[in-house]
Structure 1
């Protein structure tokens, strides 16, 4: 009977876990819809703005080209974007591993690497290792707002202008769908030129003057790139958590089925033993 009691407790425990994971899956699915809409609406705008910025890169001169200026790379900043919470499969570990791999590659080139953690899981991971932590911006994912991301982008641009960092890279999960996210390393600064250098430069008509327009357009584009990465990471997090909770619910359901089968077998064996004891006792009395 002790075995039956233990099995009943395990079945109840698995049932409770299954209810929790199922509820978390539904919550993540609801959040995913909003996050997915945000990134899908932002992505075309951000991509076009980045394309324009890259096309203008070859025409930038003087102070206008400060964000495209290339120099000897001595100090590199990696911006690692993870979530503040777990229970989302390999979402966080993929970014932490990629950031660490990228940091080691940069170190092998004789460069000093700093890591800016955007997300609690990245900070918890790298603070235990021998890396220079440039800061912890976990509050951004508490409630995603453009104003918070804008401040982060302005700080990154200021550090690049002042020569604190010679290169800045964004490391985040690029959202494809609920089941697929791509860990990505993207050079943020200096601004890269278009991949197809042989193509003719686009001839833009500037209104107002080119200098005034570029002064507004370049920082705007750089802020949007960071905001897009944050939205990508946010949608990827909810997709990864929904998938992880879906698998956890399925596993709990399968474990519950196996435990119920074991419980029924044990209960049947217990009843059979009781019947045998009664029959044996009756036979002994009659004998």
Structure 2
């Protein structure tokens, strides 16, 4: 398997553009990663990468080899998946990503139950509110909330997620209740922004009598962590737009109150995404199917009473 491992390492170095990043991805040291590439280059008799102190770029030979290397890895993965599909005990590692709020509330709580049911499958869960490139980052599965861009990824839609605009009673006592999106803008309400590198200008798409409309709202606080925004809203700092399941307990307790109810937010979509070569992998299918059921159950249970 050493030659296959060398090819896997080459593919990840090529895709990530970094020896150290590929080493972290494959869970080995940078020295091991470098040794695997050197061994592969020795076997092929060509240099696959040009290295400088600042950058690493594939050579012409490396670019040619990458296409064939991907085909080799995909063929091996398909063969292993076919064997595991007939096995009574699927095994391996599933690499999963999810947004922070979704991951903490709907995915992570059910991982122990999955592990008990499938003890030979390991789970590597990565939570982040930044935009994640599923293929480049070597993921088997990613849970996604929001519109889906066109891609080669396989998509399974899980549910439509209602959203709500809400604020703490203390904020409402000070600033009043905006009736709609127009009031949010004209009265310059403090809207709490979810922001991360590459994010678009802050807009909320709300339902109006004339159909969906984007409102350019403003605010003085922003974060790349959705739970931070919820805590700020609870402290009376402003208005948030959230999936209902994330703030259901606060709506039920009265700690947060719906606002702008004449123009509610558009519902958003919850889906899971997989690279094509991973979609039918038995261990990925098992994790995906398990979490789809648990997500649907949890979403129904967390709707406001």
- TM-score in terms of structure 2 length: 0.22
Greater RCO, CA 8 A, separation 6+? 1
Greater Cα radius of gyration, structure 1 or 2: 1
Which structure: greater strand fraction? 2
* Richer in helix (by share): 1
Structure 1 length-normalised TM: 0.23
